[in-house]
Structure formats: C-alpha cells, structure tokens
Amino acid sequence: MIRMSVSSGSYYEAIKVFVEMIGSRDWIPDSYTYEYNIKACSDLEFVKMGVLIHGQTLVGGFGSENFVQNSLVVICMNCSRAEMARKVFDKLRERSVVLWNSMINGYFKNGYAEEALGVYNLMADEEIDPDCATVVSGLPICG
C-alpha cells in the first residue's frame, strides 16, 4: 500500500499507513517501507518526519542499506538542508555512485555549485567511476 501510495503521489496516505503499521506492531516494516516513506517526506518537505523515519531504519536494522542512506541524503537536499545531507554523507563508509550523484545534484539544485564541484572532485580522488547521471549532473555545474 505504501509503495502504491507514493507511486501515485498520495504521500500523506503513505505516511499514514506507515504510522499505523508502526503503531499496530502487527506488521514489520522492511527496507522498502522506509525508503518509500522517506521519499514521501522528501516530496512533502517533511524533513523532521523523514529524520524520524530514518531513525526507525536504524532501530529496525536497515540503516546500512544503500538506498535508505541515499533517501536520507535526498530528503535533506530536497528540504534545503545541505549541511545535514553532508553530515550524513561524510559518516557513510560505503558510498554508491547513486549517493555521490545525489550529493552533486543536491548541491547544485540548492545553489551550491562550488560544493557540487568539490564533491565531484572528491569522487574522482576516491577513484569512483562516474555514470551517465554523474556526467549529466556535472555539465550544468560547469556552466
């Protein structure tokens, strides 16, 4: 239900179902439940709720999942909390190319072109191979 709600843009419904799920103790959320609810919070710019849901991922043992970590970075960037996103990013030991792209794109969208280039350069320094999305994100920054 949560996935369907988020996919159809019914973000409030997704969060409502999640809260009911947590409260009932009858259902156990999985990593996708968290990911979709963090996305709903991101699109609604509910950063505090997103952070709370992320806290639940840690309690549930899903905090190390790449897509859950990426979702938290995205919500922070979507809610203009670039500093918070950077703190999360810096704490992660394993960074997927998707996470790097989220940081680069998030910085750029928030008006921090120099920081976006800095992350791009750090990515190169750490010998992470860029993908098409990295290049697409990087080109407007250079302009």
Could you tell me the residue ranges of all domains in the chain?
Answer: 1-81, 93-142
Highest-scoring range by mean pLDDT, 36-40, 41-45, 96-100: 96-100
From the CB of residue 80, how many other CB atoms can be counted at a distance below 10 Å? Answer: 15
pLDDT for residue 63 = 67
Please spell the DSSP secondary structure of 34-54, one letter per residue.
HHHHHHHHHHHT-HHHHHHHH
pTM (2 d.p.): 0.75
Q: What CA dihedral angle connects 40, 34, 100 and 96, to 10 degrees?
A: -150
Q: Would you place residue 23 in the very low, low, confident or very high pLDDT band (cuts 50, 70, 90)?
A: confident
